[in-house]
Chains A and B, each alone.
Chain A
Amino acid sequence: MAEQTGHAVSALQESLRPLLEADGILGGMLCTEDGLPLSSALTPGLDEESLAAAGARIGQLSRHQLGDEDLEAGVLDASRLRLVVAPVSLGYLVLAADPAAPIGPAVELAKQLAAVIEQTAEETAVGDARRP
């Protein structure tokens, strides 16, 4: 189980890397439902643990606020930093963005990336399950 998670996380790391090239995106990470960092690609100066804890909290509160409806993304927009959080089966995808950049593209990117991560996690899990 731990080995499977390890394979999944290294595959997910690859999915996150292109994020740093997107306009206005300062980085991204995956964290567990409890706010533990799993994998990240962040610009220097962003603290992985704080971001993971914050992302999970935003995700939890957003889900609670939505009730029965599924969360696609939650956005916290503050004067110095914007966080976009999208749920994935491992926990949450957290994007850190420049607040001066447009929000819409960051939300779309988070949703698309969450879908890619789900697919990667599924394929890795299937691959791991087939390994002797």
Chain B
Amino acid sequence: MSDFGGDEDRSAAADDCLRLLAREPNSLRFAEYADRLRQLERLSDAMVVCKHGLARHPGYATGHVVMAEILLDAGTPEMAAHHLREALKLDPSHPRAHLMLGKLLLTQGDKGRAAAEFEASLRASPNLVEAQAGLAEARGALTTTQPPAASNSTASGRKAGQRPEWLTADRIGDLVDLVAARPSVDRAHAVDADGRVLASSIFGGPRISGGADVGFVNELRGLASRLAAGRLQSLALCGSQTLTLYLPLGDLVLVAGLRPGADLDEEISDLGDAISAGPPGEMVRADNG
């Protein structure tokens, strides 16, 4: 269940979580800490942390998904389903929320609706293995596990905000290298839906907070949805010393720090094209294929 060995290690790790949370009580990282506490099987602590976090950040879809996982572990699937539906109201394409709802429906024997949820999860995150397996199970393992085609795809096969087809789990490093190689990019990293930093162009230096990055993007994705502003394409943060771009790619978030004076329009457009096309070898492969 967890990476922690004995009871003492588990207890120390849980205390560490609570201490970090006490230091930043308003942080969106409550979901990350609550999930860690859940993995440490400290369910009541996890529930308290998540409940307080959601009281402060009710629009944070990932917070509701973590709450659902805690409630599932606690054996209350109806309440878990409520939080998953809440998460999907805030972020209709949240891949993990669709995945969990699919699993829940599968356990209730509702294979048709479960399959629809797994398909929705795969539309947002085509490489989510658990959703592929869930879809196969829901369809009685008789049909293909290929993810359904995304609707309204562009000529490049990718809408802004979606993960390109070439970007499989083992190629996240290639994505970061591709982006970091651009002259206007100073640094880049990729984060998954759970806030884990999967690849980074920087070794050493200040610690990257993947949980904060993904929380920032998810909360603003939910806000765009509530405003009926459409699908979130990108976020840009202009600070007094830095200029940072956040590009959602399905269940991933790509963060690129731009050099001073970089042209935002050019960067967003060129990065989007480069990500769709993939590394140079990818184009050769596609031409030959």
- Near A by CB (< 8 A), chain B positions 212-258 give 212-213, 216, 219-220, 223-224, 226-242
- The residues of A with any CB-CB pair to B shorter than 8 Å are 50-51, 54, 57-58, 61-62, 64-66, 69-81, 83, 99, 102-104, 107, 111
Contact of B240 among A50, A72, A99, A102 (CB under 8 A): A72
Q: A61-B216, A104-B264 are in contact. Are A75 and B230 (CB under 8 A)?
A: no
B233 in contact with A79 (CB, 8 Å)? yes
A75 to B232, CA, bound (A): 11
Number of B residues whose C-beta is below 8 Å from A?
A: 33
For A77, list chain B residues within 8 Å (CB): 232-236, 268
- The residues of B with any CB-CB pair to A shorter than 8 Å are 26-28, 59, 160, 212-213, 216, 219-220, 223-224, 226-242, 263-265, 268
A78 in contact with B229 (CB, 8 Å)? yes
Nearest-neighbour CB distance to chain B for A37, whole angstroms, equals: 15
Contact of B223 among A54, A75, A104 (CB under 8 A): A54
Contact of B235 among A64, A66, A71, A75 (CB under 8 A): A75
Nearest-neighbour CB distance to chain B for A59, whole angstroms, equals: 11
A102 in contact with B265 (CB, 8 Å)? yes
Nearest-neighbour CB distance to chain A for B256, whole angstroms, equals: 14
21 sampled A-B residue pairs with Cβ under 8 A: A54-B223, A54-B227, A57-B219, A57-B223, A61-B219, A64-B28, A64-B216, A69-B239, A69-B241, A71-B239, A74-B237, A75-B238, A75-B264, A78-B224, A79-B233, A81-B230, A99-B233, A102-B265, A103-B265, A104-B264, A107-B236
Which residue of A is nearest B243, CB measured? A72
For B228, list chain A residues within 8 Å (CB): 80
Contact of B237 among A51, A65, A79 (CB under 8 A): A65
